[in-house]
Every structure is written in C-alpha cells, then in structure tokens.
C-alpha cells in the first residue's frame, strides 16, 4: 500500500441536533482517483468542507499528506487544491485577475503565476474573453475557471465538488484527460459527483456516504464483489450504489401511488 494522502478518524460534524457527518473513517492512498458518492443531503459537501478547512469538525481528526489539518492548516492548504461547492470565485475580477490572485496567494511568483494563468486559460478555452468579469461568465465557464484556480499551484491533493456540472462535453473530455494524467503523476484526486458514469470511468476507488455514515469503501472491484448484478453482465456503479443506498431511499417504491399521473 502506498502513502496515505487523506486520512480521517471518527470525523463528525453536528449542526444543532442534526449529525450531518457521523464518525467517518476514510483512507485514500496517494495517487488514487477517489470518488465520494452519496444521495442528496448525505454529507458529501460537509465532509469535503471539513477536509479542506472550510468547516470545523465537531470531533475527529483530518490528516492530509501526513499533516494534521487542525494543527498545521497553512502548510496543508499550500499542498491542496479545492473546487468547493459554490466555486469560491471573486465575481468582480476577470478570469486572469482571479488566477493571478490565487497563484500569488499560494506563494507563486508573478512571472510563474502569469505564465500558468495564461496556459490554464488557453487550456480551459477561457482566453478569448480577457476583459469579461467572472460575473458575466456562464456557469460552465465559472466551473472551468474554478478548476484552473484549484490546480494553478500544482497541488498534491485535489478536492473537486461536482467539477463537471455545467461543463460542456468538449471541455469535460479534456479535463478528464488532464485529471487522469495528474493521478499518473502521483496527485490524489478526491471527487464528488452525482453522475455515476463519470465516477465509474475516472475513479479507481470509491466511498459511499449515506445519512452521514460511511456505508461502503474500497476499489470498484471490491465493491462489485459484494453485489450480485444481472447474470452475465458486469455490475455497474449505479447498481452498486442503488443496492447500498436505494433500498433505504425509498423514492422509487412510492411511484405507484401517483395513480393520477400514471
């Protein structure tokens, strides 16, 4: 087993009487493309916020690259990149200005920041609107810019909360290729997405959170081994997910009640 990039121990977050994340123990090896799945409101974004220092844990511990997040937050943040749920963009800057701001905040010198910023804007196909403010970008363009900002400093761990939402197929293809190359170079990617096909295609390992609790964790093959799919065909991630979460979700079981619609 390689070095551990992400480690959580009994990670818990409570909001008043609600326990959004309940004693989560995660272990992600360096260089893994790790998918973090769960239905709406399961605790995915809360977990990612705690892993990236945007939210304090009620109890438990987060260790990234061997460093304790609570004890050494600045050093940890220097080595990670994040695309948070709300993207965290300053909407009154242009794309280039925002990348310049982020690069400098991560300690890059100006020439390096500017060079990387231009290359990233070209790669993300955002270079043709140099004077447009981020507020004027489409949702997909904002997402691409948030991704560019997350990688500008060359992070060792990348946290992506729904990174492909709103991104066109062309750019999404290029991004997936880029992310795959990054993991080959040893970068750990922690990704949440509702699109099972994306997770299945990109991720080697997956964890599933449901109602705040981690209900499954392992490689795709390990998860498949525990599920019996349709005879003669390979079990898909969606089938795995539904078999673990769907039984208690109950959404489909009530469909028959909508007789007036059916």
Partner 1 sequence: MAAIGQVLGVGAQIKLVAGLRWRILRNSLRKKNNRMDLLGLIISATLGSIFVLGMCFAFGAGAYNFLAGGQESWIALLFWAIFLFWQGFPIMVAGFGATFEFRTLLRFPLKLGAFYTISLAYGLADVGAIASICWLISMTVGATAARPALAPVMVLAAILFVLMNVTLERLVGSWLERLLAGRRTRELFYVLFVVAMISIQFIQPAVRRYGHTALPRIRHLSPYLAVFPGSLAGRMITGAARHHFNDVWIGVGGLLLYLGVFTGFLWLRYSAQYRGEELSESVAPARVAVRSTARTQVNGDALSLLSPKIATMLRKEFHYLTRNSFAALLLIIPPVMVVFFSSQFAGRHPSVSHHAVSTDLFFPGMMAYMIFILMSPAYNCFAYEGRGIQSYFMAPVSFREILLGKNLMLVIVLALELILTIAVFNYWVGLPSTAVFIATIMAATFVVAGQLSVANWSSLSFPRKLQFGQMRGQRQSGMAVLITFGMQILLAGISAPVMFMGRWTGNSWLPAEAFAFLAAAAIGGYFASLHALTELAEKKKESLIEALCR
Among 203, 198, 217, 208, CA closest to 245: 208
Tokens, residue 208: 């599933």
Of the listed pieces 21-29, 84-92, 198-206, 221-229, which binds partner 1 according to CB under 8 A?
Answer: 84-92
Query: Does residue 87 interact with partner 1 by CB under 8 A?
Result: yes
Minimum separation from the CB atom of position 257 to partner 1 (A) = 14
Residue 129 touches partner 1, criterion: CB under 8 A: yes
213 binds partner 1 (CB under 8 A): no
Q: Give the residue with the Cβ less far from partner 1, 9 or 85.
A: 85
Give the containing element (helix H, strand E) for 169. Answer: helix 169-184
Among 68, 97, 200, 238, indicate the residue that binds partner 1 (CB under 8 A).
97
> Which span sits near partner 1 by CB under 8 A: 25-33, 72-80, 216-224, 232-240?
72-80
Comparing CA positions, the residue from 99, 164, 95 lying closest to residue 135 is 95
Smallest gap, in angstroms, from Cβ of residue 85 to partner 1? Answer: 8
Q: Which runs of consecutive H residues, i.e. helices, occur in 67-168?
A: 73-78, 95-105, 110-123, 139-151
Under the binding rule (CB under 8 A), the answer on residue 119 touching partner 1 is yes
In the block, tokens 């890059």 appear at 108
From 2, 41, 66, 86, residue interacting with partner 1 (rule: CB under 8 A): 86
Tell the residue number behind the tokens 């050494």, with chain if given.
Answer: 72
Among 3, 122, 165, 222, binds partner 1 (CB under 8 A): 122
Strand partners, 182: none
How would DSSP label each residue in 16-55?
A: TTEEEEEEE--EEETT-EEEEE--TTSSHHHHHHHHTTSS
140 binds partner 1 (CB under 8 A): no
Q: What angle do CA 20, 4, 185 make, to 5 degrees?
A: 110
**Is 59 a residue that touches partner 1 (CB under 8 A)?**
no
| Interface residue list for partner 1 (CB under 8 A) | 52-56, 74-78, 82, 84, 86-93, 97, 100-102, 104-107, 109-111, 114-115, 118-119, 122, 125, 127-129, 132-133, 135-137, 149, 260-261
């Amino acid at each position: 087993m390689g070095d551990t990039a992400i480690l959580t121990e009994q990670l818990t977050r409570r909001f008043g009487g609600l326990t959004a994340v309940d004693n989560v123990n995660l272990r992600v090896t360096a260089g893994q493309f790790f998918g973090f799945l769960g239905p709406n409101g399961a605790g995915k974004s809360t977990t990612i916020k705690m892993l990236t220092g945007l939210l304090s844990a009620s109890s438990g511990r987060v260790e990234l690259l061997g460093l304790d997040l609570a004890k050494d937050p600045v050093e940890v943040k220097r080595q990670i990149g994040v695309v948070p749920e709300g993207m965290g963009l300053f909407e009154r800057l242009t794309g280039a200005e925002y990348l310049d701001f982020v690069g400098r905040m991560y300690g890059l010198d100006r020439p390096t920041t500017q060079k990387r910023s231009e290359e990233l804007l070209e790669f993300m196909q955002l270079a043709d609107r140099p004077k447009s403010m981020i507020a004027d970008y489409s949702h997909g363009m904002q997402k691409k810019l948030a991704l560019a900002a997350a990688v500008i400093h060359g992070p060792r761990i990348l946290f992506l909360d729904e990174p492909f939402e709103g991104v066109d197929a062309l750019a999404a293809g290029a991004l997936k290729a880029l992310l795959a190359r990054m993991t080959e170079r040893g970068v750990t990617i922690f990704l949440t997405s509702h699109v099972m096909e994306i997770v299945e295609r990109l991720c080697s390992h997956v964890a599933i959170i449901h109602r705040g609790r981690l209900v499954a964790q392992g490689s795709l093959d390990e998860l498949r081994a525990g599920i019996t799919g349709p005879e003669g065909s390979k079990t898909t991630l969606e089938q795995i997910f539904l078999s673990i979460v769907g039984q208690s979700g109950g959404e489909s079981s009530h469909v028959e009640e909508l007789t007036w619609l059916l």
